A and B are shown apart, each in its own frame.
Chain A
Amino acid sequence: AQKITQTQPGMFVQEKEAVTLDCTYDTSDPSYGLFWYKQPSSGEMIFLIYQGSYDQQNATEGRYSLNFQKARKSANLVISASQLGDSAMYFCAMREAGYGGATNKLIFGTGTLLAVQP
């Protein structure tokens, strides 16, 4: 069965430092996609970054980058130069494989709460 695991319930990071949020996944489908979302205390889910299983390069979006290690089935989110506004819950998600191909459904991890300290 497909599964997403985020082993860090919570983390602290100093402002301006880089931080890595862990995500491992389990799937037997060769075609899949991985997403990271940010959820501030206000509740909305904000899409951050996407990595496809066949992408040759690690995805980057501004201060966000994805450390994609396919053989290890990990897709860690790296936030460079942390800011106070980065304090939020972060979710890793995988596009679910279905019979005959991928679906549009996502499987979510349990999230990591990041607190950026001044």
Chain B
Amino acid sequence: DVKVTQSSRYLVKRTGEKVFLECVQDMDHENMFWYRQDPGLGLRLIYFSYDVKMKEKGDIPEGYSVSREKKERFSLILESASTNQTSMYLCASSHGATNSNQPQHFGDGTRLSIL
């Protein structure tokens, strides 16, 4: 089975801190994604990566950056955390073939609170 592991289930940080959320997948997937989930808004794409060192902005990239130095690891970085970034963060991965029926596989999520 595909395993996507997020480093923390719960995280509490202070405003202004630099925050790192880590995600690792074990299925050699080309694509990796970071979403945030807020009540009533569904999942919104922050950034995604289709290869090592490659990244593309999603729908809400402001205030975030990402890093993909190795194929299995995709990091989300909050440069200077703010209270409006309190949310559930979900990482996902998938095969790289387009027009495919391959789903995205998700981690368990990180509930991040910025105080």
Say yes or no: B98 contacts A44, CB within 8 Å.
no
| Of the residues B95, B101, B106, contact of A44 by C-beta under 8 Å | B106
| Of the residues A104, A108, A109, contact of B94 by C-beta under 8 Å | A104
A109 to B41 alpha-carbon distance, docked (Å): 8
Residue with the greatest number of chain B CB neighbours at <10 A, chosen from A45, A50, A104, A106: A104
| B45 interfacial contact with A, CB 8 Å | yes
Say yes or no: A50 contacts B101, CB within 8 Å.
yes
> Closest Cβ of chain B: how far from A105's Cβ, in Å?
6
Q: Could you give, for residues 81-101 of chain B, a 1 whenever the CB lies within 8 Å of some chain A CB and a 0 otherwise?
A: 000000010101011101111
Q: Known: A91-B42, A108-B43. Is A31-B108 also a contact (CB below 8 A)?
A: no
CB-defined contacts of A104 to chain B, threshold 8 Å: 31, 48, 50, 94-96, 98, 100, 104
| A27 interfacial contact with B, CB 8 Å | no
A37 to B99 alpha-carbon distance, docked (Å): 19
| A43 interfacial contact with B, CB 8 Å | yes
Report how many residues on chain B are interfacial, defined by Cβ distance under 8 Å.
Answer: 30
Main secondary structure of the interface of A (DSSP, over half): strand
Report how many residues on chain A are interfacial, defined by Cβ distance under 8 Å.
Answer: 25
Q: Could you give, for residues 94-111 of chain A, a 1 whenever the CB lies within 8 Å of some chain B CB and a 0 otherwise?
A: 000000011111101111
Across chains A and B, which 9 residue pairs bring their CB atoms closest together, nearest first? Answer: A45-B106, A47-B103, A43-B109, A108-B43, A108-B42, A110-B42, A44-B108, A102-B99, A50-B101
Some 27 contacts from A to B, beta carbons below 8 A apart, are A31-B99, A33-B99, A33-B101, A35-B103, A37-B103, A43-B111, A44-B108, A45-B90, A50-B103, A52-B101, A93-B43, A101-B98, A104-B50, A104-B94, A104-B98, A104-B100, A105-B45, A105-B48, A106-B43, A106-B45, A106-B104, A108-B42, A108-B43, A108-B44, A109-B42, A110-B41, A110-B42
